[in-house]
Amino acid sequence: MAGGETLEVTSPGLIAECGKSGDGAAAGAGRFQWWFVGVVGVFLLVTGGLKLVSVLQESRVLGAADPLLSLLTVREVLFLAAVLELGVAALLLRHRAARWAPELILWLVILFEAYRLSLWAIGFQGHCSCLGHLFDWLPWLKPWSDWLMQSSLLGMAAGCLWLLYGYYCKGYKGKHRAHNS
């Protein structure tokens, strides 16, 4: 590779030359996506894992009906959320450079925000069990729990929107193709 040529991330761990065609921004977007999707994947592994640990704990609250999905208990909703997060995390960590990765993250953010907004709309005053019993174990974080989770969702949405803006408005075409060798 000659000096001045840019690199393009085509799939996790693989780099291809873009040449001198002015693709520096597209290559930068590929590196940002690879990093961003990896961080989100690890974050979802941690939060999904914390939910699974919480589901296994004994707590009267977990046996109560979910305030929004009253046919399910809080434990069942927490378990479903954990499975969903861990599944999305596995997909993201396996396919960091896939063009659909930001869309998948954004879908998950919208799903979680819809749940939270629905709780707010019905007047639910309790705290979100987004991280299970983490805030019981670290009580000094409890006052910050809602802010931390909302900030995390906002950060994930902002990163996804930045990537999608690049794909659809700036025309980064073909920069995230599957590697077939």
Q: Are 73 and 63 in contact (CB under 8 A)?
A: yes
- Phi and psi dihedrals of 15, rounded to 5? -125, 135
Confidence category of residue 3, pLDDT binned at 50, 70, 90? very low
Cα separation values, 133 from 29, 35, 45, 154, Å: 37, 29, 16, 22
- Domain residue spans of the chain: 6-49+80-168
pLDDT at 57: 82
pLDDT at 44 over 60: yes
Residue 149, CB-side half-sphere exposure with 13 Å CA sphere: 20
pLDDT at 13 over 70: no
pLDDT at 165 over 60: yes
Q: Please state the pTM of the whole predicted model.
A: 0.74
pLDDT at 4 over 50: no
What number is the average pLDDT over the span 76-93? 96
C-beta neighbour count of 137 within 10 angstroms: 12
